[in-house]
A and B are shown apart, each in its own frame.
Chain A
Amino acid sequence: MPNFLQLQKISKIFNPGKETEVFGLTNINLEIAKGEFVVLSGPSGSGKTTLLNIIGGLDAPSNGEVQLDGLILTGLKEKALARERRDHIGFVFQAYNLIPVLTARENIQYIMKLQKKGGAECDARVLEVTTKLGIDTLLDKLPNQMSGGQQQRVAVARAVASRPQLILADEPTANLDSKTAEELMDMMLQLNEDEGVTVLLSSHDPLVISKAKRHIVLKDGEILKDEIVA
C-alpha cells in the first residue's frame, strides 16, 4: 500500500540554463506515513523551504512527482492545486501571515468558509481548536493586537481547524522566544496525536528537532539522514 505522502525523484533547479543556475533539490525520494510527526532540518540553503513548497503545491519541481494520498499533485492546474491546499493541506508560515483585517476567529474560520461549512459547524470547531491551543480569549482580537506567540497559535489553529490531512510548517518557531516556541511545539504534538494529522515541519532549532518523532536532515538539496527518533 502506497504511503500517505510520496516524493519520487524530486529535483528543483532555479534559473536553469543561466549563469545563476542553482540546484535547490537533487533527486529527493521520500515516503511519509499518515499521522507521522516529521522535522526537516539542515543549514540555510539546504532546501527545506523549497521541499515544503513543492509538497504543498506552492512551487513546481523541475523533475519528479509528488503524490498525496494517492493523488498526483505535480502537473495539476492552479485551480486544482488551490482546492487540494484548501481541503487537504494546512500551512503554518514563519511570519504567521494572518489576514490583518480579520479577527482571530475570522482567520481561523477562513478556510472552513472556503470549504462552505455552515456557521454553527465553524463556530464549534473554532471553539474546540482554540481551547486546545489556549487562545479562546483572543477570538475577537485583530492580529496587530496579539503577541507573536499568540499570532502563531492562531496560525496553527487556522491550519488545523479545517481538518487537513497534512500540515506543513516552515520554521514556525523562528520568530518566537524559547518558552513560547516550546509551548507551541507541545501543542502541535498534542494536535498530531489527537487529530491524527500528519505534520511535516522545517526548522534548524535544536528545541524543535528534539521534539521530532522522525528527523530528516537535508544538505545541499539532498537527504543526508532520515531517522526515526521516537
Chain B
Amino acid sequence: MYNFICKIAWASLSRRPTRSLLVVLMIALSLWGLLFMQGLYEGMTEQMINNAIRSDSGTLTLFQKGYRSENDINKLITNEDRIAGKLKGDPRVQSFTKRIKQDGLIATAHYSRAAKIYGINLESEKTHGRLDAYLQEGEYGFGSRGKGAIVGATLARKLKVTVGKKIILSAQTTDGEVTSIALKVTGTIQTNNMQMDDFGVFIDLEAARTFLNIRQGVTQFCIILHEENQLSGLQHELENEFAALETFRWDELYPALMQSREMMGIFSYVMYLLVFCVATLGIFGVILVSVLERTREFGVMLAIGSEFLLIGKIVFFESFCLGLIGFITGSFLGAGTLYYFSVHGLDLSHFSAGLEEFGMDAVMYSIIKPDYFLTAFLAVLSATLLSIILPLRVLQKSKPIEAIQKI
C-alpha cells in the first residue's frame, strides 16, 4: 500500500510543478540564509573569544589573591615553578605562559596615554597564543639588547609612533617608586582585542622584572586547555591546590563576549522559528489547495473503503516531500557557503575601521556544526506535521458522499 501512497502523493506534487518548486525554493532559501548567518555570526563570536583567549586571558587565568581587586604589583605569584610543573604534566593543558602586568603611562615627545605594560617571553607567547600572528608592522622581537617594545596598533596610531621610534614607559615599582624606561618600538600588533590594541605595550619579561623591581614571581599565569568542557574541573583543582591564588575563566574576564555567545543562541532560535514559520505557511498553502482540488478523489477513496488515516498518510507524505527536498537543497547551499567562508573568510576590509571599534576581525570565518542541520531538520519536520492539520480537518468535515457529488 505504501507504493500507492507514495505514487498518489508524488503525482499531486508533480501535477503543479511550479507551485511545488516555489515552496521548495522558499524553504531552501530561508534555510540557506539561516545557516549562513548562524555560521558566520557564530564564527565571528568565536573569533572574538579566540582572540581574547590567545592574546590575553587564556581559557583560565591565575592571579595572586588581591592582585585584581587592589591592582597591587606586590601581589605576585611566587611559586611559579611548582605551578608550571603541575601544568606541564596535565594532559588537559594545551599550553600556558607567564606574564608580568602593570598599569602605567606611555609617552612620546608629543603625546602620552595610559598603558598596560606586559612583560612576556616571546617564544612562550608564540607557542601559547601565536602572538606573532598578530604582528602588523616591524619584527616579533625586542631587539638585540632586549630594549624594544611591541605596541598595540591603535595605541601606536594615537601616539603617532611607528617602528623605530622612541617611547618612554613609566610605572610604579614594587617598592612604591615611579620609574621610567626608554624603549624603541620594534613592532605593532593588531589582536582585535580592544584592551590589547588600545593600551597594550609588550616588553621582555626580564626587562619588566628589572623595570618594576621584581626579584621573583609573576602577576599572571595564562592557560589554554584542549577542551573547554574540562575548564571547571581544572579550575577546582587549582583552587584547592593553590589556595593563595584566584582563578578566572575567560568568560569571567570577558563577560561581554560570553553574553555575545549567549545572544547567538537566542538569535539562532529566533532564526529557526522564522524558518519554521516560512516552511509551515508555505507548505500549508500548497497542501490546502492540493487537498481542496482533490476532495472528490479523496471522497472516492473513502467511499470504496479507505480509512481516513490513509488519506492522512498521503497528505503527510506530500508535505514531507516538500519539506525534505527544501531542507536538502537549503542544507547543500548552506553547507557549501559555510565551507567556502570557513576556508576563505568573508573579507570586510572595507569596513575594518568600524569593525576594529567592536573588536572584530576584518576577515570573518564561518564555522559549521552538525547541530545546525539537525535543528533545521527538526524545524522543517515540525513544519510539515503542523501544516497538514488544518487541511485534513477541512477534508474530514467533508463527508464522502458530499465530496463525490462535487464537480
Contacts and interface: CB of A to CB of B under 8 A. Distances in A.
A114 B305 contact: yes
Nearest to A101: B11
A90 B304 CA distance: 7
Nearest to A88: B305
Contacts of B306: 82, 86, 114
Contacts of A114: 1, 305-306, 310
A129 interface: no
Contacts of A110: 4, 304
Given A86-B304, A106-B7, A111-B305, 5 more contacts: A82-B305, A97-B300, A110-B304, A113-B1, A114-B305
Contacts of A58: 303, 399-401, 404
Contacts of A79: 307-308
B291 to A, nearest CB: 15
Interface in B153-196: none
A205 to B, nearest CB: 21
B8 interface: yes
A113 B3 CA distance: 10
Interface string B1-30: 100100110011000000000000000000
A34 interface: no
A85 B401 contact: no
B328 interface: no
A97 B401 contact: no
Q: Which 5 A-B pairs have the closest CB atoms?
A: A86-B305, A101-B11, A97-B300, A58-B401, A85-B305
Nearest to B299: A97
B8 A101 contact: yes
Contacts of A158: 304
B301 interface: yes
A53 B308 CA distance: 19
A59 interface: yes
Interface of B: 1, 4, 7-8, 11-12, 296-297, 300-308, 310, 399-401, 404
A167 to B, nearest CB: 12
Contacts of A82: 302, 305-308
B305 A106 contact: no
Nearest to B12: A101
A91 B304 CA distance: 6
B304 A111 contact: yes
A59 B401 contact: yes
B400 A106 contact: no
A19 interface: no
Contacts of B303: 56, 58, 85, 91, 97
Identify which of A59, A91, A111, A114 gathers the most chain B CB atoms within 10 Å of its CB. Answer: A114
A23 interface: no
Identify which of A78, A90, A101, A106 gathers the most chain B CB atoms within 10 Å of its CB. Answer: A101
B304 A85 contact: yes
B8 A102 contact: yes
A4 to B, nearest CB: 19
A83 interface: yes
A100 interface: yes
Contacts of B305: 82-83, 85-87, 89, 111, 114
Contacts of A100: 11, 297
Nearest to B304: A91
Contacts of A101: 7-8, 11-12
B327 to A, nearest CB: 25
A17 to B, nearest CB: 20
A110 B297 CA distance: 13
A98 B294 CA distance: 13
B304 A78 contact: no
B4 A78 contact: no
Contacts of B401: 53, 58-59
Contact of A93 (B8, B302, B310, B404): B404
Contacts of A83: 305, 307
A39 to B, nearest CB: 21
Contacts of B304: 85-86, 90-91, 110-111, 158-159
14 contacts: A58-B399, A58-B401, A78-B308, A83-B307, A85-B305, A86-B305, A99-B8, A101-B7, A101-B11, A101-B12, A110-B304, A111-B304, A113-B4, A116-B1
Contacts of B308: 78-79, 82
